[in-house]
A = this chain, B = another copy of it.
């Protein structure tokens, strides 16, 4: 299989963590994303994926799978061990809901293509974009912390082993720290992140810092 990836993309990081947890080897093809200064690497990729977003996983049958959560669920169904979701229905829903809260209520509002569109609003400027990103990261991780405080029972987000929720929490929290946001304001998130940093599959697949 071939993973179209970008080193600064937190959505790519999610898929790389899942692959590492499963012990699945793939070919990594780094492609540019808007604003990372590598638009020339992007041009070839548009022939494969017209939307140009990463990650995308090409299977050995030639199917191109997009959207990080759909790819992670695919990997979990195809390579069942270790499982990336709890066994019970409510636990599965909880793990998925944290992943989705991070994907839809934080990451969706702050990727490079949204920042580029925002920057074109008169009066917004680079400072306005930074404030926008900060607003949604603070609000979104605050909401995640409230859900964790209400429901968490084990050492990770949803039990005794990392699940899809932890895979989504890790790169988003790393990016929050890089934006100068202290995770200590959220005790559950900070504690889980300390555990995840000690796991090789997570530590080795964090998103790279933006240049």
Contact = CB atoms under 8 A, between A and B. Distances in A.
Interface of A: 50-51, 59, 61, 63, 65-67, 69-71, 73-74, 77-78, 89-90, 92-94, 96-97, 100-101, 103-105, 107-109, 114, 117, 121-124, 128, 135, 143, 146-147, 150
A69 B90 contact: no
Contacts of A121: 121, 123-124, 128
11 contacts: A63-B90, A65-B90, A66-B97, A69-B96, A70-B94, A77-B89, A100-B103, A104-B104, A105-B108, A108-B109, A123-B123
A61 B73 contact: no
A143 B51 CA distance: 6
Contacts of A97: 65-67, 70
Given A50-B146, A124-B121, A92 B66 contact: no
Contact of A147 (B66, B122, B128): B66
Contacts of A103: 100, 103-104, 108
Given A51-B147, A67-B104, 17 more contacts: A50-B143, A51-B143, A63-B93, A65-B93, A65-B94, A66-B97, A67-B100, A67-B101, A70-B94, A70-B97, A70-B100, A71-B93, A74-B89, A74-B90, A77-B92, A78-B89, A121-B121
Quick one: which of A65, A78, A114, A128 has the most chain B CB within 10 A? Answer: A65
A100 B128 CA distance: 28
Contact of A59 (B65, B90, B92): B90
A30 to B, nearest CB: 21
